[in-house]
Amino acid sequence: MRLGVMRQPAWLVHAWAEIGQREIAGSRSNPRIDDYIRRAGHPELANDATAWCAAFVGACLERAGMPGTGSLMARSYLAWGLPASEPEPGLVAVLSRGSNPAFGHVGFLVGLTDDSVILLGGNQSDAVTVEAYSRDRLVGLRRPPVAAQVPVQPGAADGSAFEWSLARILEHEGGYSDDAFDPGGPTNKGVTLATYAAFTGKPLEPATRDRLKAELRAIPDELVARIYRERYWLAARCPELPGSLAHFHFDAAVNQGVGGAARMLQQALGVTIDGQIGPLTLAAVTRHSMRELLQRYAEVRRRRYRGLGHFWRFGRGWIARVDKTLTQALSRDASQRVPSPAEPRSQTTSPTSPLIKETKTMPDSQKPAMSTPQTDAKWWGNSLTIWGTLITAISTVAPAILSVFGLHVPGVLIEQLGGDILAIVQAVGGLIGTIMTIAGRSRAALPLTRRAVSIRV
């Protein structure tokens, strides 16, 4: 079943805004994830190698003015709030993990099927994602105390993202127009006459048309923003998408319809196309490279435009709009990317702690000893590659060189050993040299450098 969308608790809005935060491979740590752990009250463990699903839940609750458990143990949320009997968006869902009753996973419920529980959570595939888990693993659904619940319309916590996108979309839309070829009819700031009439609850009839057109010409900015937020931004579920994709999807919903935008996004994702963005579509978003997804989405939009009968009239502007919006989205994605911290991670607790996942740093057995100086070159005489090449050359060229100096194998030996013996020796020498060349190349890890060599005769 698909859970309701129009009313979500504030903490779930904050959680959607974190989609795409991911651990940094190697010895670095994502500072955003570190902050989740600090907010949970464990600054000494602030490192993305720490199991952080409970920290993510706690951080989102805290940002919404709701206390979490202050623990990094997922099952601590079984004692938080009150038990919930009916599924709702944003309930805290606690799952089992393996046979150890101390281990678990926790996230926010966003979907439920006969077989799966779909969670928006942290530390899911090392990132903040939407993922489906076996319903058999669900051990508890929790809601906050009734007095503490503060449901809000989605988007209340994403005002800056909406305003940023709206400003750029209005640049595309421009002012008032009444083009006879435009199927939308009279339009001002991207709001059509029909949309204005429907949103304000006024009948659009021949007798009211001129009056409504005059009102549309003078439409206030506050009403324009409300129309865009409610009819497009929220209806297209933009607050639940990463910022760059939200901007591009918002523009598609405005210009090509909310249902059309949903189908185009699903086509770009390669999922079932039903025009409804639900948990499975949102989960698919988190599994894609944002840059590649945006580029595929843009191409789907271009193809859709080219198939319209009035492309001859508006096509150039539509394609230019897609290209500009794509550039804006990609630049937004780059500007919001979490940078690698300049400093190495701080020391964390022992790997034997149940709060620590498998370490991502190099094992001590593979690290160079601190007393061994690290050089950036080696002498050519230590290279198996060089020696292998020399042996190959000598075994191949030496017979010809020796003959120049008048050194010939005696005829009696030729008669006894046969004319093929020299070819056999050359072949064996060439084989050995080639093997040494390959071995030396495969072992080579450092560039060659010169070293003075003295030869005494």
pLDDT at residue 336, rounded to an integer = 46
Give, in degrees to the nearest 5, the angle at Cα 136 between 135 and 138: 70
Residue 226 counted as domain residue: yes
Whether residues 287 and 243 share a domain: the answer is: yes
For the record, the structure tokens of 423 come out as 């070819």
Flag residues of the chain having pLDDT under 50.
1-6, 147-157, 335-385, 387, 392, 409-419, 422, 444-457
> What is the phi/psi pair of residue 47, to 5°?
-165, 135
Strands 151-152, 104-112: parallel, antiparallel or unpaired by DSSP? unpaired
Whether residues 146 and 185 share a domain: the answer is: no
pLDDT at residue 41, rounded to an integer = 81
pLDDT at residue 292, rounded to an integer = 92
Residue 366 counted as domain residue: no
Domain end marker among 125, 152, 179: 152
92-136 pLDDT, tens digit per residue, is 999 999 888 889 999 999 988 888 999 999 999 999 999 999 999
Round to whole Å and give the CA distance between 36 and 14.
Answer: 12
pLDDT at residue 361, rounded to an integer = 33
Give, in degrees to the nearest 5, the angle at Cα 350 between 345 and 356: 75
pLDDT at residue 429, rounded to an integer = 60
Residue 342 counted as domain residue: no
Whether residues 200 and 292 share a domain: the answer is: yes
Residue 434 counted as domain residue: yes
Residue 358 counted as domain residue: no
pLDDT at residue 332, rounded to an integer = 78
pTM of the model: 0.52
Residue 292: which domain range? 159-335
For the record, the structure tokens of 236 come out as 């297209």
386-444 pLDDT, tens digit per residue, is 545 555 455 555 555 555 555 554 444 444 444 455 456 555 666 666 666 565 555 54
pLDDT at residue 389, rounded to an integer = 53
Round to whole Å and give the CA distance between 172 and 319.
Answer: 12
Domain end marker among 152, 181, 198: 152
Residue 346 counted as domain residue: no
C-alpha dihedral sign at 102, 106, 109, 115: negative
pLDDT at residue 233, rounded to an integer = 92
Residue 206: burial class (beta carbons within 10 Å; 0-12, 13-18, 19+): exposed
Round to whole Å and give the CA distance between 86 and 83.
Answer: 9
**CATH code of the domain in which 269 resides:** 1.20.141.10
Round to whole Å and give the CA distance between 451 and 435.
Answer: 25
Domain end marker among 152, 171, 205: 152
Whether residues 283 and 214 share a domain: the answer is: yes
Indicate the number of domains in the chain. Answer: 3
- Continuous segment of H or E residues that includes residue 269: helix 258-269
